[in-house]
Chains A and B, each alone.
Chain A
């Protein structure tokens, strides 16, 4: 167990008063910022980040160093950093944990990122429901500014930088980078087409580094210890640690910092301590609401980008939801699709029209009106959405359908012949509402 849980990003969590800047400083806080500003050139920070092989922790796993380099090199005087704290993925609550337990670390990380890409201003866009995180981050920014780590000529260097908190209003789509940027600009949160990508034309069309909270939180460690040391934990394809969020039918729920490379079995049975109430595990969903749903037979797969990619999986945001054998796969997929149909921004056809239709087709299975033609419709619709939707929402929302069709096809077939094995679906021909 000891080597399954590490404390790199979470080392202060629970050990310091998240309001108190002195607590943070006494625990070694702002050392990385001081080192970065006084001893390192922006390019050196980027080089170390590249050497660390850190990739984005929001779900897309884009190499962070490469992204920083693009913003650094973009020929524009005005540049922005955005910390994406609009943590809306169902089953994901790791950024909240970081912000509530160690907000100064996030502030320090954002300043380091700003220095590295030569930005002047950062926004941290926090999910509107995160009252406590918003208050703590705002407090942390104030205290940090008073201390002189934010504002003009930070540490007497020719580096001016400030951070502003913005909050979302509850739309899941605003976690998508361009929808978030549109929202920041005061428009409704709808993604833009790509390219151009944010490092070239982001906030107000200026080069913008936009990263997830957890991604940025790795920067102080990289600055203090170097990219090589960062890789001392993890695997060849996936360096460092990952915060995972365990929820669902599992005994030990919560946020855990784990090294890349441990197996899903370790996560479910060692860290999560297994399934409560003497039930059996039926399915886990990895990466959030749009993640793959897989059976227990696949638990030897490692939390590792390369290993998971071989099985068409991705760690996504780090959410892992367990479902026991009293649950119905069709019912679970149906409720996920209701979520996506509700959260689609409505901009592009495949997502706007596709998600409600996906829901309709799955609903047919649950109310007993599905026919074999439904499989064909699911096939063409999921493929179209995955390949043609404008942003990640519409591209990923069919994943629960696609993966359950692959691993739980027999449950679909059983529903087709009028049998919900968990006894959850009404199968009443759509009579009951």
Chain B
């Protein structure tokens, strides 16, 4: 590796070639402010906030996009830089809706942070040039407010490069520049899959989750409603970040305690429904293997993924497992089996789910998701909305005691927990399918080759002489590779797991803002720690699931199961 010597603010620095000025400065603890820059994304170099002076250069250099060179002399702070950075941010503000007090990003806005960091107190010398546009509330998942947009391009990079869905892109030019969905359409008409990854990288409030906390409070405060909450696997390894704790902090007990303090009547766990999903999906796979069903079978728990295949690869819909997602299985069971148990009508029960996901909002609102005779899941909140409720209620999350989920729908196994990470559904399924088919106990429960952030992962397991070949992909760009293989007839797998979001649900579009790959890895590590700490780690050993079958469903793929736990998909080709 060639090393480059340069001088930053009078200090000698030696870094590998191709290091950016930004990273070289970071290595000596000089933090150059940035805005369009986002880790793991392509360098954009368009906001011009990270400008620095390079000796001998007529213009500023941009720290994020300029690689270091031998003998470079850089200044990261001068009167000139101060004035230019201030002017650049003032220019942005003059074209930005500045109703900061009531903005959803108030306190978590990177533009606001920048104004503060750059100590901009002066009146803006530039005239307001904002051309107010209509706010896009066309989907139940995401809100687009172009009046907030600063054209940094992070959402475009996410939608086009990481996800390769290609809904968001730059349009028009000059002051009329806009980031548009489709050909200037509303999101619901633009082929958006509602994964919400754009909303996790937006520095301002140009695209964000549709906040439904008010509806949840109304239900909680309604004495005639029995309000049940379920928390998704990924929440327990991410909610702590909302309260200043490091990524990967596990807070299962505080999560349950917080939900109880908020006033929910039953504190249940989506992990229970994840175990249930494995029972149904595992048996569906076995049924397809035995009866010549469509293979490879593909998982169906990620609603962003469902939105993708329905709109872009509808010809492959027969490959999808008919299993509903754990969220929807939970809702259906809560409003039937559990409703009977507590003697309530489904209409008097209000089911809230806490999800790492924006697409879950759309999924819960799908008209067919009413197996209980009413809407099975009433509101699906993201991690970020959940955190807002905790703050709103004055709960000090970090100091909460560790409490437990309620019985019976709060009982789960480690297999349910790992649903939150890419490869986890597959691993959970293999643990169960292997033991159901062979009757033997697995020697090792860990299928490490399908864990982690590699785009497409493969594994195989030998069951009584037959080899089951499986694959897992996360992020739509990776999913597309497997779909193209299937179309070409070259996918030599029987079972495939696909998650719409990079890293799986732990990297979901509803997770705390600004998820990076480093944070994804930390959450993944945490979720496998949760798995290992569980006394039971196989879905079929979940006693509450066993009881559910005994008392209510009879057996996997039963008639009742089909009615409550399975669904059909639509060709919605875009």
**A→B interface (CB under 8 Å):** 171, 173, 188, 190, 193, 195, 341-350, 352-357, 360, 373, 376-377, 380-381, 383-384, 386-390, 395
| Closest Cβ neighbor of A377 among chain B residues | B125
Whether A353 contacts B48 by the Cβ 8 Å rule is: no
- Which of A343, A355, A383 touches B84 (beta carbons < 8 Å)? A383
Given A380-B125, A387-B80, A395-B59, residue A349 in contact with residue B48 (CB < 8 A): yes
**B151, A357: Cβ atoms under 8 Å?**
no
| Cα distance, A384 to B170, chains bound together (Å) | 24
Cβ–Cβ contact A346 & B151, under 8 A: yes
With both beta carbons as reference points, the residue of chain A lying nearest to B43 in the complex is identified as: A193
The answer to whether B174 touches A195 (Cβ under 8 A) is no
Residue from A171, A356, A384, A395 having most chain B Cβ neighbours under 10 A? A384
**Contacting residues, chain A, for B526 (C-beta < 8 A):** none
Q: In the bound complex, how far is the Cα of B127 from the Cα of A190, in angstroms?
A: 26
Q: How far is the CA of A350 from the CA of B83 in the complex (A)?
A: 13
Contact with A along B118-162 (1 / 0, CB 8 A): 000000011101000000000000000000001100000000000
Q: Which residues of B contact A348 (CB under 8 A)?
A: 45-48
Residue of A nearest to B64 (CB): A193
Q: Do B172 and A346 touch across chains, with their CB atoms under 8 A apart?
A: yes
Q: Which of B91-99, B409-417, B419-427, B504-512 contacts A (4 or more CB under 8 A)?
A: B91-99
A342-B170 contact in complex given A353-B92, A373-B125, A395-B59, C-beta closer than 8 Å: no
Taken together as a complex, chains A and B put the C-alpha atoms of A273 and B51 apart, in Å, by 47
Looking at chain B's contact residues, is the secondary structure mostly helix, strand, loop, or mixed? loop
A344/B47 contact (C-beta < 8 A), A357-B94, A376-B125 known: no
Chain A to chain B contacts (Cβ below 8 Å), 27 pairs = A188-B173, A190-B170, A193-B43, A193-B45, A193-B65, A341-B175, A343-B173, A344-B174, A345-B173, A345-B177, A346-B151, A346-B177, A349-B46, A349-B47, A349-B49, A349-B88, A349-B150, A350-B87, A353-B91, A353-B94, A377-B125, A381-B126, A386-B59, A387-B58, A387-B59, A387-B60, A387-B80
| Contact across chains for A346 and B176 when beta carbons are under 8 A apart | yes
Residue of B nearest to A358 (CB): B126
Most chain A Cβ neighbours within 10 Å, of B45, B59, B175, B177: B175
CA of A356 to CA of B175, assembled, Å: 7
Residues of A within 8 A of B66 (CB): 193, 195
Partner of A345, one of B43, B62, B174: B174
Flag if A347 contacts B59 (CB, 8 Å).
Answer: no
| With A193-B45, A346-B177, A388-B88 as contacts: A352 and B59 at CB distance below 8 Å | no
Tell me the minimal C-beta distance from A365 to chain B in angstroms.
14
How many angstroms between the C-alpha atoms of A193 and B51 in the bound complex?
Answer: 13
Q: Which residues of chain A are near B174, meaning CB under 8 Å?
A: 341-346, 352, 355-356
* Contact call B92/A349, Cβ cutoff below 8 A: yes
How far does the alpha carbon of A376 sit from the alpha carbon of B90 in the complex, in Å? 14
User: Please, what's the 1-or-0 string for B61-84, where 1 marks a CB less than 8 Å from any CB in chain A?
Assistant: 010011100000000000010011
> Other CB < 8 Å A-B pairs besides A171-B173, A173-B173, 13 of them?
A188-B173, A193-B43, A193-B65, A343-B173, A346-B151, A349-B48, A349-B91, A352-B151, A356-B129, A377-B125, A387-B59, A388-B59, A395-B59
The docked-state distance in angstroms from the alpha carbon of A91 to that of B430 is 72
* Contact present for B91 and A346 (CB under 8 Å): no
